[in-house]
Amino acid sequence: DAKTTQPPSMDCAEGRAANLPCNHSTISGNEYVYWYRQIHSQGPQYIIHGLKNNETNEMASLIITEDRKSSTLILPHATLRDTAVYYCIVRGTSGTYKYIFGTGTRLKVLA
Per CB under 8 A, residues contacting other proteins are 32, 34, 36, 38, 41-46, 49, 51, 87, 92-94, 96-104
Minimum CB separation of residue 9 from other proteins in Å reads: 12
* Cβ neighbours, 10 Å, residue 98: 9
The type of residue at 108 is K
Minimum CB separation of residue 79 from other proteins in Å reads: 20
- The residue among 67 and 96 lying less far from other proteins, judged by its C-beta, is 96
Q: Is 82 helix (H, G, I), strand (E, B) or coil?
A: helix
Residues 6 or more apart whose Cβ sits within 8 Å of residue 66: none
Minimum CB separation of residue 98 from other proteins in Å reads: 6
